[in-house]
Structure 1
Amino acid sequence: MTQHNLINRRTVLSGIATGSTAITCGCLSGGENTGFKPGENTLGTNGIFEDIFIDGTDLVLEFSDDSSIDHVNVIDPNGELFAERQIAAGVDRTRIEIGLEYDPGEYDIIALENDGVQTTQSVVIEPDVRITDLRLARNHPEKMFEGASDIDIRTEAIVGLENAGSGPDQAIRLAFSGEVPRPTPDEYEMSGIYDRDSDIRQESEGVEILPGEELTVYSQLMPFSESGQNVSCSPDTVEGAFQVVLETAIQEKIVSEEYSVSFTGESLGECDIQIEGQP
């Protein structure tokens, strides 16, 4: 999904920076901050950029018809050169791979002509991954992946994710803690996420979450297995709470959501497990 309007400020240089050191380190003396506000798109007014946006894991730069620049440098949040591109005459678009190993934060995109800085656009590229939904497969078998076994349906969870940020990310570890029958061991090193793209049954190494994307992942940890001994089930109903934790490759903060849960029945093998607020 394409995410447009990444610009959060626009700096137009009143002077021309000279020398490769000044360019690659981002030391752009003489710049003037125009007070560009988040969400605004005034790119067309600078005569160089028509649009800047993320497409998948690429940064896309589109140039206006009047642009005569011949070079673009991208400076990362640490002030180091992230990428550079030669822009041939007549080229109206270039793509720069961001990938899934970048530093989140503010990037400066510097447009040059004959080694002179013409303008700089600053964009924030960072993910904002969230857990948006959790359902038990046993209560929603129709929402499980194709080919799910009876054991999958009895023991696994369905987790909704969203990337509300401006940069791509990758879910690399899912874990359950608290009052679930089978919490994830701290030393567990696999992702705990079902690999939907593999022809053989295995855990995924990571699931891409692009900007603006919503997707569903499936646990491969059996957190609600009746063989677990961390909780009990009773006809009088046992109540508790558990946490779902998601680690990603880029986002610095770990994503966590807590859910209230109840267990009703004679034993875990015949237990009615309900998450508060879920059908």
Structure 2
Amino acid sequence: MTYSRRTVLAGIGMAALAGCTGEGVSPAGSSSGGSGSNEIAATVEGETIQIEVLPDTVESVSVIDPEGRLWTERPVPAGVTRVDVGLDERYTPGEFRIVGASGGATVAETRLEIMPDLRIVEFDVGRNQPERMPEGLGSVRDIESLVSVENRGTGPEYVRRLLFNGDVPYPTTRIESASDRTTGIFGETEPVLIASGETITLFSSTIPFSLAASRTIDCESEFSGTAIVSLIPSVGAESLTTEFPVLYRPSTDADECDVTIEVG
């Protein structure tokens, strides 16, 4: 299932405009409450911070990352009510400050949490899902795998590498070196974007279920174990590793295995 990419994180201005009394007017999509003005609000859409301001209230907006560094500063021409700021795989996750200024002084501010949270929600071998495997995999479709990943966080993530270890016939230890640029993802040579609220399916390109390449699993008898799937992200500091119980049974095809993977 693919969810909407939009994660709304509207904020409240923290400094009232000089001489302004009463409650401020919220830009579309923002939330208001408490003290201060509502001249600025922000949301995340895909890999873009969308900043909304009331007309002619600020002359520039600055985006400050969680470590206090200026990510970018953008002018706000007269009459403009929206400014887009791009993110990329170099951003630091956490709470960002969005600051609106006029005449060299801060007149509005909001805070925006941008934090990805990946979960592996599906894992299977190609032989069990032939109708879903890309035609481009050709004769190795049956021994590749599919992995569905959901981003439950509030910011985008970029998956650099897909790895398989544990009780799989052909682990991907050969591409785990930091100097290896192989993604292990079919059709992808660059990190794969997973936006907030999005679920995508990745397909392997490393034949993890190849019995011909295996030194440990021959499928001559029933065997149960644990397959380990790992995603190496660009933004998150650590890899995401999930273990799946796997059962191998001899197949009627001497060159194949019946593989059952249990997804909780």
Query: Structure 1 vs Structure 2: percent identity of aligned residues?
Result: 30
Who is 2:220 aligned against? Answer: 234
Which blocks of at least 5 consecutive residues in structure 2 are unaligned? 19-29
Question: Shift in Å at residue 70 of structure 1?
Answer: 0.9
Who is 1:210 aligned against? Answer: 195
SS of equivalent to 1:148: helix
SS of equivalent to 1:247: strand
Who is 1:25 aligned against? Answer: none
- Structure 2 vs 1, CA of residues 126 and 277 (structure 1 numbering), >3 Å: closer, same or farther? closer
Question: Shift in Å at residue 176 of structure 1?
Answer: 0.7
Question: Shift in Å at residue 48 of structure 1?
Answer: 0.9
- Structure 2 vs 1, CA of residues 99 and 277 (structure 1 numbering), >3 Å: closer, same or farther? closer
Q: Is the 8 A contact 2:100 2:107 kept in 1?
A: yes
Matches within 5 A, 1:63-212: 63-65=53-55, 67-151=56-140, 153-185=141-173, 187-188=175-176, 189=180, 190-195=182-187, 203-212=188-197
1:48 aligns to 2:39 (yes or no): yes
Q: Distance in 2 between matches of 1:149 and 1:187?
A: 22
Q: Which amino acid letter does the alignment assign opposite residue 81 of structure 2? A: D
Question: Shift in Å at residue 128 of structure 1?
Answer: 1.1
- Structure 2 vs 1, CA of residues 15 and 42 (structure 1 numbering), >3 Å: closer, same or farther? closer
Q: Distance in 1 between matches of 2:101 and 2:190?
A: 40
- Structure 2 vs 1, CA of residues 155 and 13 (structure 1 numbering), >3 Å: closer, same or farther? same
Counterpart selection for 1:222 from 207, 210, 219: 207
Q: Which amino acid letter does the alignment assign opposite residue 253 of structure 1? A: E
SS of equivalent to 1:142: coil
Question: Shift in Å at residue 154 of structure 1?
Answer: 2.2
Question: Shift in Å at residue 41 of structure 1?
Answer: 2.6
SS of equivalent to 1:177: strand
- Structure 2 vs 1, CA of residues 277 and 87 (structure 1 numbering), >3 Å: closer, same or farther? closer
Question: Shift in Å at residue 12 of structure 1?
Answer: 1.4
CA RMSD across the alignment: 2.5
Who is 1:12 aligned against? Answer: 14
Count of aligned positions: 243
Q: Distance in 2 between matches of 1:217 and 1:206?
A: 12
Q: Distance in 1 between matches of 2:39 and 2:5?
A: 21
Who is 1:245 aligned against? Answer: 230
TM-score by length of 2: 0.83
Who is 2:257 aligned against? Answer: 271
Q: Distance in 2 between matches of 1:268 and 1:240?
A: 21
Q: Distance in 2 between matches of 1:194 and 1:229?
A: 24
Q: Is the 8 A contact 2:43 2:112 kept in 1?
A: no
- Structure 2 vs 1, CA of residues 248 and 258 (structure 1 numbering), >3 Å: closer, same or farther? same
Question: Shift in Å at residue 169 of structure 1?
Answer: 1.6
- Structure 2 vs 1, CA of residues 154 and 2 (structure 1 numbering), >3 Å: closer, same or farther? closer
Q: Distance in 2 between matches of 1:212 and 1:178?
A: 29
Q: Is the 8 A contact 1:6 1:125 kept in 2?
A: no
Q: Distance in 2 between matches of 1:205 and 1:85?
A: 28
Q: Distance in 2 between matches of 1:78 and 1:144?
A: 42
TM-score by length of 1: 0.79
- Structure 2 vs 1, CA of residues 273 and 158 (structure 1 numbering), >3 Å: closer, same or farther? same
